[in-house]
Amino acid sequence: MFESLSERLGGVFERLTKQGALTAEDVKVAMREVRTALLEADVSLPVVREFVKKVEAKATGAQVTKSITPGQQVVKIVHDEIVAMLSGEEAADALKIDNPPAPILMVGLQGGGKTTTTAKLARRLKEREKKRVLMASLDIYRPAAMEQLAILGTQIGVDTLPIVPGETAVQIAKRAKTQAAMGGYDVYLLDTAGRLHIDEVLMGEVQQVRDAVSPRETLLVVDGLTGQVAVEVAQEFDDKIGITGVVLTRMDGDGRGGAALSMRATTGKPIRFVGLGEKMDALETFEASRIAGRILGMGDIVALVERAQEVFEKEQAERMMRRFQKGLFNLNDMKSQLEQMMKMGGMQGVMGMMPGMGKMAKQAEEAGFDDRTIRRQIAMISSMTKKERAHPELLQASRKRRVAAGAGVDVAELNKLLKMHRQMADTMKKLGNMKGGMLKQAMAA
């Protein structure tokens, strides 16, 4: 997600940060480009106007233009304003699912990814929060949809309410409530029927269900690729039903990201999760500072660490986190990351999340950087001594020849690896050094 926006903004800021002194005019020119980039990403005009106005006011202040690193300051201001735009006044809390059994109502148009998301969320609550979860489909118009949820339930090991033909949506909802209470479930998810368009009948039915169970959370699932339409749909559902949050799906696609950027500012409703694929584990929490980092091409270390945690031994992940927080990143860290990458589905899944790699991902693809390359990189690091891995600057000509020969590659390829490591280590250092730490902030989110 956000690739093109991130590419555009990356270019603007690269020019800014390269300049020593900044005039108000420089900032104006940059902001014009930021404005165009945001509009092209399908962010709504009022939101863009407000955003640019705020950034410009802060960025042309005397402290900024006279500071030693004006470019970086502007980037920081933009980062903070993106966070503000994404998260509004207060941050999106975790789901309110204390007081078992807590009902969660899933609403949205047909085809938006509601059923898939219901199952993804159920899996997440089960795996990460160790909740006992029950799912029920209220889609009495499409038996196939009920079947689909039951199949997903089996796949992820979450119970679904048995299907009883002939019941109304409200009857099913009430049965789910009773079953959840009697069966000792912590949460029950109600997957309501969707329509192709918003209509009175749909809204009426969802209102009845809402009144029957008093949901703790009502999550709107909406296709992130539809841009401004997604924001309009959210507004309608909020007016008629009252939603507590939004899940944007298909954010793995080449959507321009505008829906995510306008949602909070326009509807006042937080984005809780984003869907990043069809698989059951492709659901991430939406955290403003992480997303802002991604948009500005700073990579997404937090997501990386979070994903890694699922695969890694916990201890190892914590060690990695502590090192990251200190801005440390040597070749051993790189090797374990490369190994994890292979475990986490190779290049494609992970590349965009690594610090400073957003832009490189594309170049890498073009240069034929693939899983075979990763294996060779692991081999190169394996051919180094312990000392060399901890202190890559030791690798001068003769050592380089030895390492390259050991891994069966030429020195040029080893140089590429070392350069890549330096870039990553630099980014890591910057993130670790930032006062009040962007990284720490992201971790705390």
Binding site for ligand GDP (CB under 6 A): 108, 110-116, 194, 249-250, 252-253, 275-278, 282
Identify whether the C-beta of residue 237 lies closer than 8 Å to the C-beta of residue 220: yes
192 known member of a binding site: yes
If the CB atoms of residues 93 and 254 are measured against ligand GDP, the closer one turns out to be 254
112 known member of a binding site: yes
Nearest to 88 by CA among 57, 39, 50: 50
What is the smallest separation between the CB atom of 223 and ligand GDP, expressed in angstroms? 8
What is the smallest separation between the CB atom of 435 and ligand GDP, expressed in angstroms? 36
Identify whether the C-beta of residue 273 lies closer than 8 Å to the C-beta of residue 287: no
Element containing residue 315 per DSSP (H, E): helix 314-325
If the CB atoms of residues 194 and 270 are measured against ligand GDP, the closer one turns out to be 194
If the CB atoms of residues 194 and 299 are measured against ligand GDP, the closer one turns out to be 194
What is the smallest separation between the CB atom of 175 and ligand GDP, expressed in angstroms? 20
If the CB atoms of residues 152 and 331 are measured against ligand GDP, the closer one turns out to be 152
Name the DSSP letter for residue 296.
Answer: T
If the CB atoms of residues 75 and 353 are measured against ligand GDP, the closer one turns out to be 353
373 known member of a binding site: no
What is the smallest separation between the CB atom of 179 and ligand GDP, expressed in angstroms? 22
118 known member of a binding site: no
If the CB atoms of residues 79 and 120 are measured against ligand GDP, the closer one turns out to be 120
What is the smallest separation between the CB atom of 172 and ligand GDP, expressed in angstroms? 16
Identify whether the C-beta of residue 87 lies closer than 8 Å to the C-beta of residue 264: yes
The residue of the chain with the least Cβ separation from ligand GDP equals 275
266 known member of a binding site: no
What is the smallest separation between the CB atom of 306 and ligand GDP, expressed in angstroms? 17
Q: 22: which residues sit within 8 A by CB, 6+ positions away?
A: 16, 64, 65, 70, 71, 74
348 vs 341: CA distance, rounded Å = 9
Nearest to 37 by CA among 26, 47, 48: 48
249 known member of a binding site: yes
Name the DSSP letter for residue 79.
Answer: H
250 known member of a binding site: yes
23 known member of a binding site: no
If the CB atoms of residues 8 and 124 are measured against ligand GDP, the closer one turns out to be 124
183 known member of a binding site: no
95 known member of a binding site: no
| DSSP conformation letters of 176-235 | HHHHHHHTT-SEEEEE----SS--HHHHHHHHHHHHHH--SEEEEEEEGGGTHHHHHHHH
What is the smallest separation between the CB atom of 307 and ligand GDP, expressed in angstroms? 16
What is the smallest separation between the CB atom of 118 and ligand GDP, expressed in angstroms? 8
49 known member of a binding site: no
283 vs 275: CA distance, rounded Å = 5
| Other CB atoms within 10 Å distance of the CB of residue 264 | 24
Q: 436: which residues sit within 8 A by CB, 6+ positions away?
A: none
257 known member of a binding site: no
Residue 429: exposed, middle, or buried by beta-carbon count in 10 A (0-12, 13-18, 19+)? Answer: middle
* E strands, 210-350, in order: 217-223, 245-249, 271-275, 283-285
If the CB atoms of residues 148 and 427 are measured against ligand GDP, the closer one turns out to be 148
13 vs 16: CA distance, rounded Å = 5
What is the smallest separation between the CB atom of 284 and ligand GDP, expressed in angstroms? 10
109 known member of a binding site: yes
Name the DSSP letter for residue 424.
Answer: H
Helix axes of 331-343 and 301-311: crossing angle, nearest 10 degrees = 70
Q: What values do phi and psi take at 285, rounded to 5?
A: -70, 150
Helix axes of 114-129 and 143-156: crossing angle, nearest 10 degrees = 20
If the CB atoms of residues 96 and 279 are measured against ligand GDP, the closer one turns out to be 279
What is the smallest separation between the CB atom of 153 and ligand GDP, expressed in angstroms? 13
> Which two tokens mark 127?
């795996």
If the CB atoms of residues 107 and 180 are measured against ligand GDP, the closer one turns out to be 107
Question: Residues annotated as binding site?
Answer: 108-115, 191-195, 249-252
Question: Residues annotated as binding site for GTP?
Answer: 108-115, 191-195, 249-252
